[in-house]
Structure 1
Amino acid sequence: MALKTRFTELVGIEHPIVQGGMQWVGRAELVAAVANAGGLGFITALTQPTPDKLREEIERCRSLTKKPFGVNLTILPAINPPPYAEYRQAIIDSGVKIVETAGNKPQEHVDEFKKHGIIVVHKCTSVRHGLSAERMGVDAISIDGFECAGHPGEDDVPGLILIPAAADKIKIPMIASGGFGDARGLVAALALG
């Protein structure tokens, strides 16, 4: 029996389980396993050394699953930033239907993805960032409590506090992220909003 939520209906998955982008871990094998189990997995774009290698990883994932999966593009400030626009184009050219953005000011990427009919989920670490992403036009957010790890989390607010605070303000579908390891966590996330 599938558990339906606004998010499962938005992205066409069976279960409200998401494996977000994780540097060095979000590869085709893991993403396909999550997809085949009925959840949504994200290939981590910047784990791949070049946009062409990302194209290959997307195709490899397609060879392992026929179910929905996405790609994470994290935008971080850097002295020598990766070629974000080229990674974005690789995602678009590969026909990916769902993208998770994270990091600083992704507006140009969101706009380009939306022009191509791609569903955009933005990873946020505070309610104010979630509201900003909603105004930016994303389709859903991932609200990441401090225990989620892998992000700077400016406010250090844990999920049990952050998730219901975001649910009170955010109107678009929302993923509760971080600190969930079993069915009890899923039930808690659903109860939190």
Structure 2
Amino acid sequence: MLSTRFTDLLGIDHPIVQGGMQGVGLAPLAAAVSNAGGLGILTALTQPTPEDLRNEIRKTRELTDKPFGVNLTILPTINPVPYDEYVKVAVDEGITVIETAGRNPEPYMPLFKEHGVKVVHKCTSVRHALKAESVGVDAVSIDGFECAGHPGEDDIPGLVLIPATADQLKIPFIASGGFGDGRGLAAALALGADGINMGSRFLATVEAPIHDNVKQAIVDGTELDTILNFRPLRNTVRVHKNTVSTEAVEILNNGGKFEDVQHLVAGARGRKVFETGDIEAGQWTVGMVMGIINDIPTCHDLITRIVTDAETIITDRLAGMVSSQAPAQAAV
């Protein structure tokens, strides 16, 4: 078993977190991850109303007695979102782990602290991680450029971002972006992280509530099959490279505005992909980690395999490279 500051903080068996994915972070997936020893995450805004979130939390509790969390992404929206009500439901229902993203969670920190909630804030840069630490979050999820969804605007990959974060952050943190197997977990730990967050890898699992065609598209895809959209708008998002996302990128790169691509990138079209399995129906999020996803296991089998492989890499392969003998002297 791999014990880290993160597993100790949250009382979980393995340092693996399921990303809070819109339309995907539902009870069956979150419970499966938690039952396997990781940390499952419900996505609050997947639920149409705060009361729907309450029902999903209760449904998850029927499926697992292990810790699980709720993701709350706080962003400006065209239609106002009752963020305060979603937060109140999570706290009232006794959720002990909340993953925040988007806006600074500082306004909610007193409430979280009062109720013993552990806060994990998602960041895409060291400076944002340090700000989150300063407002009192308990841990950070640091997202490298490889990640699905919003990688920020700095374009720093995990190989640099993770150790840079480790050099400055005092609280525990997990690494996100490009993780999908035991090699990645071992690497993240070696670079200074206390665990990993995986989104795309959990899309290609038996319990993921998406169409099998999408899961197979992820298995068939490579690290070259994503595209960065909204770059000219400074709101970069990494998505699957299909006809829809490619058209949107071309429009924006040629001087178009968001209004010119809104019909292409509407969330309803992305949800249609997951529901119908038509991978060309809209823009949908997935990361470069597609290049190392080769099967569709259960969450239990996936997490067990990742942890076992990471332990073997650490204890056998890497340890076997260390010699206690002094280096041989070169001949003169």
TM-score range, shorter chain: over 0.9
- SS of 2:146's equivalent in the other structure is helix
- Contact persistence 2:73–2:102 (CA under 8 A): yes
Cα RMSD after superposing both structures: 0.9
Provide the residue aligned with 1:155 in structure 2.
154
How far the C-alpha of 1:24 sits from its partner, in A, is 0.7
Q: How many residues align?
A: 192
Q: Based on CA coordinates, which of the two structures has the bigger radius of gyration?
A: 2
TM-score of the superposed pair, with normalisation by structure 1: 0.97
- Contact persistence 2:143–2:151 (CA under 8 A): no
1: distance between equivalents of 2:44 and 2:110?
18
- SS of 1:146's equivalent in the other structure is coil
Provide the residue aligned with 1:41 in structure 2.
40
1: distance between equivalents of 2:158 and 2:80?
30
Equivalence map 1:171-190=2 (5 Å):
171-190=170-189
- Contact persistence 1:35–1:41 (CA under 8 A): yes
Provide the residue aligned with 2:23 in structure 1.
24
Residue 53 of structure 1 pairs with residue 44 of structure 2: no
1: distance between equivalents of 2:80 and 2:125?
25
Provide the residue aligned with 2:4 in structure 1.
5
Query: For residues 88-122 of structure 1, what are the alpha-carbon distances to aligned partners after superposition, in whole Å with 9 as ceiling and x for unaligned?
Result: 00101110011000001221122321221100000
Query: Match for 2:32: what amino acid?
Result: A
For structure 2, the 5+ residue unaligned runs are 193-332
Provide the residue aligned with 1:120 in structure 2.
119
Residue 76 of structure 1 pairs with residue 75 of structure 2: yes
1: distance between equivalents of 2:183 and 2:39?
19
- SS of 1:123's equivalent in the other structure is strand
1: distance between equivalents of 2:90 and 2:131?
24
- Contact persistence 1:74–1:101 (CA under 8 A): yes
For structure 1, the 5+ residue unaligned runs are none
Provide the residue aligned with 1:138 in structure 2.
137
How far the C-alpha of 1:43 sits from its partner, in A, is 0.3
2: distance between equivalents of 1:22 and 1:4?
26
Query: For residues 1-30 of structure 1, what are the alpha-carbon distances to aligned partners after superposition, in whole Å with 9 as ceiling and x for unaligned?
Result: x21000000000001111121111111111
2: distance between equivalents of 1:102 and 1:188?
24
Greater RCO, 1 or 2 (C-alpha within 8 Å, sep 6+)? 2
